[in-house]
């Protein structure tokens, strides 16, 4: 258990996040620039360009906020449109099978929760390592919990 990271630890797709935020800012700046440079546009049309750029920036920021945070009491999974807090006891298994777009957490209630914060898209080796770390953390907590129950 000594090779486990100190908690709390956050897992997120760093490259994907950087690309999304950079693209969102670039799109916002380009649309705002176009709105200001086109002389024949009225104030409403200019505003619609800026608002469209702001909405695209907001959407890319929502996509970039995905993460998985592990701490002493459990795991918080932040996906695109949801956030869920799990106790360690709720996590039965951490899965990242070949071809999976992201990690799936098998839960004690019989469901599976996608954890988009660990995804092998751009940085495959990092995602595999992160999934292994989260799996080791969950297993260490399960082992400690079983020892407490027996003692």
β-sheet bridge partners, residue 69:
10, 76
Q: Over the stretch 18-67, which tens digit does the pLDDT of each residue have?
A: 999 999 999 999 999 999 999 999 999 999 999 999 999 999 999 999 99
Q: What pLDDT does 3 receive? A: 80
User: Which element (helix H / strand E) includes 117?
Assistant: none
* Summary count for the chain: helices (H), strands (E): 3, 7
CA atoms lying within 13 Å on the CB side of residue 41: 16
Task: Write out the DSSP string of 33-84.
Answer: HHHHH-TT--HHHHHHHHHHHHHHHHHHHHHHT-EEEEETTEEEEE-SS-EE
**2 pLDDT higher than 60:** no
pLDDT band for position 120 (50/70/90)? confident
pLDDT band for position 1 (50/70/90)? very low
């Amino acid at each position: 258990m000594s090779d486990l990271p100190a908690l709390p630890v956050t897992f997120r797709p760093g490259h994907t996040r950087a690309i999304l935020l950079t693209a969102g800012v670039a799109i916002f700046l380009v649309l705002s620039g176009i709105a200001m440079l086109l002389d024949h546009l009225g104030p409403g049309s200019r505003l619609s360009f800026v608002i469209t750029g702001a909405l695209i920036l907001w959407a890319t920021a929502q996509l970039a906020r995905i993460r998985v945070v592990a701490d002493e009491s459990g795991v918080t999974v932040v996906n695109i449109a949801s956030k869920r807090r799990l106790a360690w006891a709720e996590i039965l298994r951490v899965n990242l099978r070949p071809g999976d777009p992201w990690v799936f957490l098998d839960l004690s209630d019989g469901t599976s929760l996608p954890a988009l914060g660990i995804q092998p898209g751009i940085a495959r080796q990092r995602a595999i390592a992160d999934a292994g770390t989260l799996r080791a953390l969950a297993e260490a907590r399960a082992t400690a919990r079983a020892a407490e129950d027996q003692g």
